[in-house]
Amino acid sequence: MILVCGGAGYIGSHMIKLLRAEGIDHVVFDNLERGNAPAVKDSRFEKGDLRNRADIARVLDQYPISLVMHFAAYIEVGESVKDPSAFWENNVIAVWNLLEESRKRDIKQIVFSSTAAVYGEPSMIPIPEDHPKNPANPYGETKLAVERMLGGYNDAYGMRSVCLRYFNACGADPAGELGEDHRPETHLIPRVLLAAAGRAPEITVFGTDYETPDGTCIRDYVHVSDIADAHLLAIRYLENGGESNQFNLGSGNGFSVKEVISAAKEVVGHDFPVGYGSRRAGDPARLIADSAKARQVLGWEPKFDDVKVCVQHAWNWMQANPDGYPR
């Protein structure tokens, strides 16, 4: 049975939909601080906080867990700069709690949500997994710290892990059952769509003087269902005895902020206000993944590599759920 920490969140909820579809037994562990209970649907649910070891122990004693998935982090870069303490506690110490309670029970397989933020300012594009790691903010530092902790646990205790470094997760369940509902929302596509829906006064573009063809930042958008698929492959990889490994997850295509806004205008079928601001500190001009390793080793084949499809799925969900999940 699989323990899915953070399964009520954006990416975790798409993961558990896939586990349900595959008939893979699992239990969601989430404190619901940032997640949405309705997104858990009919998966088994245990409320608990990874910062509290007794919560973890209770659940691990109750279920025959053989593999742990970890999505349960704080994710907002700006928040990590303002309050690094909360990030080190929730993104590192809480994971250490989870690893310790798992180790005690001989649970030795973990799939961990990492991020492109471990690389920092890229020295080459596309970015391969062995690119130098220089996180530019505490969020990226905490994710890299866990990757390194997992390296030590592999070597000393034989706990095998797969770290999946997502680039910009986006989109929504193609069937429209799940979507992105972060509060506050900081990700580009939902913010563009909030402006398109008239629920935000405008979408602000931060910086138009980058060294890119249209002057706006270029990012690699990877569909949340493709991310879930990669996790399923990572589970199978570990279950088949695969050694600890790290993989980038990106579509390999870069889209600029202006291109995302144009795609959104096509999808929604009308114009909406766009504002222009100055660059934000620490935003690299381009971030594009080299995901060849995930394709070769895991056999991952992303289905949705066009940002317009991602925008369409996000829009479908937003139109059906204008206020997000009921809370």
List, by residue number, the catalytic residues. 139
User: What's the chain's length in residues?
Assistant: 327
Q: Which of 221, 204, 198, 170 is nearest to 319 (CA)?
A: 198
In the range 66-125, which residues lie near ligand NAD by CB under 6 A?
71-73, 75, 90, 94, 113, 115
CA distance to 4, 6, 28, 31, 59, per residue, from 46 (Å): 10, 11, 6, 8, 7
Kindly indicate which of the ranges 163-171, 236-244, 281-289, 295-303 contains the residues binding ligand NAD, using the contact rule CB under 6 A: 163-171
Kindly tell me which residue out of 87, 153, 166, 247 binds ligand NAD, with binding defined by CB under 6 A.
166
CA angle 128, 228, 14 (to 5 degrees): 140
Q: Does 245 bind ligand NAD (CB under 6 A)?
A: no
* 308 to 161, 175, 222, 298: CA distances (angstroms): 33, 16, 12, 26
Q: How many CB atoms lie within 10 A of CB 280?
A: 11
Q: How far is the CB of 241 from ligand NAD (least distance, A)?
A: 26
Q: In the complex with ligand NAD, which residue's Cβ is closer, 203 or 287?
A: 287
**Which one among 6, 190, 250, 324 touches ligand NAD, defined by CB under 6 A?**
6
State the minimum distance, in angstroms, from the CB of residue 28 to ligand NAD.
9
Stretch that binds ligand NAD, among 30-38, 121-129, 201-209, 260-268 (CB under 6 A): 30-38
Q: CA–CA separation, 301 vs 303, rounded Å?
A: 6
Nearer to ligand NAD, 79 or 306 (CB): 79
User: Using CB under 6 A, which of 31, 109, 244, 316 touches ligand NAD?
Assistant: 31
State yes or no: residue 226 binds ligand NAD (CB under 6 A): no
- Check: CB of residue 228 under 8 Å from CB of residue 9: no
